[in-house]
Amino acid sequence: MTSTSSDRRETGRTDAEQVGGRVVPMRLQKFLARAGAASRRGSEDLMTAGRVRVNGVVVTELGAKVDPASDHVTLDGIEVAIADQPVYLAFHKPAGVVTTMSDPQGRPTVASFVPVKEHPGLFPVGRLDYDTTGLLLFTTDGEISHRLLHPSRHVEKVYRALIDGRASEAELDRLRDGVALDDGRTAPARVKSLRSSGTTTYVEIALREGRKRQVRRMFSKIGHPVLELHRVSFGPVTVEGLSRGSWRHLTDDEVAALREAVDMMAEEVR
């Protein structure tokens, strides 16, 4: 493990870069995020909890650095390493599946659908509720996951919902303006009614926030509980063409577009 200050003097870099074909020392929390162990903040929590060892020694100092070429890093005794290339997947989540890599209650998890053996650091970007279907992104790149989910950089996510009752435009306008929930007022949402049939309405809603069960709570607030919920897209990536329970690799263009969307959101809030 390297010192926390010498790298700045020796290389002029404060974190890992590709130099001469190899990765030079980086902060341990960034290494963990790049390896897919957690987000950058989550990696810091793992360190302070004493769960991370470098060359057999517990490391809790957040300024500590490691050399990926020579240091041996473990999380809860399991080796952690940075893959040659990060992996990015799109998955069509079925209903009745929890968005977690393991479940103490024995319920079906998303981990059983994606190639975790081939990509041990794979984890979901955010989550979908147990009964919600649709697009869920997976990656081994903890850094982009952190950026995609950061409150200041949330990219747009589009959902389609079947709601109880016939929703009027006046009621949908409340969502377009933002509604007060128990954890604060929501940001304005893009909402449109697609069709009404009998006692239900089929709607599309686009959000840039990511609160827990937010879509369901918003429609309940205006008196139209969600009966079915499906996520259509996450930023530039869509679920189109994926059957439920299946996954695919993102294209290079999709990964580039995700990064661009994150950077664009960061610029908008400055």
Q: Which single residue is written with the structure tokens 């890992």?
A: 16
Contacts of 184 by beta carbon, 8 Å cutoff, 6+ apart = none
Phi-psi region of 50 (alpha: psi -120 to 50; beta: other; left: phi over 0): left
If one compares 269 and 6, the residue with the highest pLDDT of the two is 269
pLDDT of 34 > 90? The answer is no
Residue 24 — pLDDT band, cuts 50, 70, 90?
low
* 45 belongs to the catalytic site: no
Q: Quote the CA–CA distance of 45 and 63 in Å, as a whole number.
A: 13
Residue 94's nearest CA partner among 118, 140, 124, 128 is: 128
Domains located in the chain, CATH noted: 6-80 (3.10.290.10), 88-152+237-268 (3.30.70.580), 157-234 (3.30.70.1560)
Residue 156's nearest CA partner among 241, 238, 233 is: 233
Write out pLDDT tens, residues 209-243. Answer: 888 999 999 999 999 999 999 999 999 999 999 99
How far, rounded to the nearest angstrom, does the alpha carbon of residue 251 sit from its chain's CA centroid? 18
Write out pLDDT tens, residues 153-176. Answer: 678 999 999 999 999 999 999 999
**DSSP state letters, 6-58:** HHHHHHS-SS--EETTEEPPEEHHHHHHHTTSS-HHHHHHHHHTT-EEETTEE
Q: What is the mean pLDDT of residues 20-36?
A: 73
Residue 19 — pLDDT band, cuts 50, 70, 90?
very low
H helix intervals, the chain: 6-11, 28-34, 40-48, 142-149, 169-177, 214-221, 252-268
In this prediction, residue 83 carries a pLDDT of 67
Give the active site residue among 103, 129, 131, 164.
129
pLDDT of 7 > 70? The answer is no
Its pTM stands at: 0.72
